[in-house]
Amino acid sequence: MPVIRVEMFKRTQEQKRDLARELTDAFIRTCGGNKEAIKILITEVDENNWASGGIITSDKKN
């Protein structure tokens, strides 16, 4: 059972549906397997809880 984990900022439900479909299709094209066996776990992270380059992402917008 392949598991694909995605951590990202909040997205719309439609974007998450599209992402799940595209990731599943890409996995099948690349590695083969059974579409129903692929599990995708999406974790949405608030911009206040994500940093890069030592700066909280929400602070970069100011």
What SS3 string covers the chain? Answer: CCEEEEEECCCCHHHHHHHHHHHHHHHHHHHCCCHHHCEEEEEECCHHHCEECCEEHHHHCC
Residue 34 has what pLDDT?
95
Q: What is the pLDDT of residues 9-34, one digit of tens each?
A: 999 999 999 999 999 999 999 999 99
Question: Active-site residues: which are they?
Answer: 2
Residue 62 has pLDDT above 70, yes or no: no
Class of domain 3-52: alpha beta
- In the chain, domain spans: 3-52
Q: What is the pLDDT of residue 61?
A: 75
pLDDT digits (tens, 9 = 90+) for 31-51: 999 999 999 999 999 999 999
pTM exceeds 0.75, yes or no: yes
